[in-house]
Amino acid sequence: MVNQKTQGSAKRILVTGGAGFLGSHLCDALLARGDEVLCIDNFVTGSRKNIYHILDNPNFELLRHDVTFPLYVEVDEIYNLACPASPVHYQADPVQTIKTSVVGAINMLGLAKRLHIPILQASTSEVYGDPQIHPQEEGYWGHVNPIGLRSCYDEGKRTAETLFMDYHRQHHLDVKIIRIFNTYGPRMSTHDGRVVSNFIVQALQGKPITIFGDGTQTRSFCFYSDLIAGFLSMMASPQSFTGPCNIGNPIEFTMIELAQQVLDLTGSQSKLIHMPLPQDDPRQRRPDIALAQNRLKWDPVISLREGLKETIAYFRALLG
């Protein structure tokens, strides 16, 4: 069933976690195309600074709310981004993290079911765990430790995917699932523990750059604007296409290669130091994006060097 309000007019769209790094950029993109946005956030990891520039926009509404509690609003689409996404934040309160993923998904799916509207889940490459196949494609079930330090996030997101697909099969709900691979850019927190922000902040402050393990582990880095384009393309795809669908940049870098690029672009003299590898930290991570290319006609366009320049400029201004 299609909500009649969405036909031939601007949509009213709910973005959970809308004051976060990615959520705020999604709000910007939706407003820019003429939609109304209802942003909800409990501000545990989100920041008002990320949305200051749109608070006066007549098409933007902010509601402080925790998705682990039911929400009764009238909207045309839901993007469910609410959840701490960096190890530092999601391990700080692991019980709340898994509640946000699971109970939050139940509440948002219930809202979508009541309104008969599409809902998109921002899942993660962490559902693949420490993968035993490379690159990772959507048919791979993953290699995840269910009782480790990262499980609150990994298993929370895996359970959310289960819920989305069960609501789709049982209630014929229009669901979309994307699996986000390492994304970076302006509005990342200076203290969120993610590798790109860590390296940039350490380099700008002249502190040693901390590399966990020997630095040969790999990640694939997607600039935020490419990811947001993937969000919009996924939501606009036919109802028959639920995903999961990988959204990420398939070009792979070692941690040492990333550190060297950051040093080069910042002009920092910071030294590299090595620390023990955290528990269950994946050795390699690269998305197979054939599905996104074929079904969404989506490809990332921003190179790591280009994206790092913009991100470094943001942090340089932020740190003064």
Catalytic one of 90, 128, 153, 167: 153
Pick from 40, 121, 111: nearest CA to 80: 121
Between CA 158 and CA 268 the distance in angstroms is 39
Question: Can you point out the beta strands (E) in 84-185?
Answer: 119-124, 175-180, 183-184
Rounded to 5 degrees, what are φ and ψ at 111?
-65, -45
Is 149 in a helix, a strand, or coil? coil
Return d(Cα 159, Cα 292) in angstroms, integer.
22
Distance CA(75)–CA(37), nearest Å, equals: 9
10 Å Cβ neighbour count for 229? Answer: 17
Nearest of 120, 129, 310 to residue 224 by alpha carbon: 310
Which residue type occupies 300? P
Q: How far apart are CA 93 and CA 152, in angstroms?
A: 9
- Spacing of C-alpha 138 from chain mean position: 17
Asked if 153 is an active-site residue, the reply is yes
Active site amino acids: 153
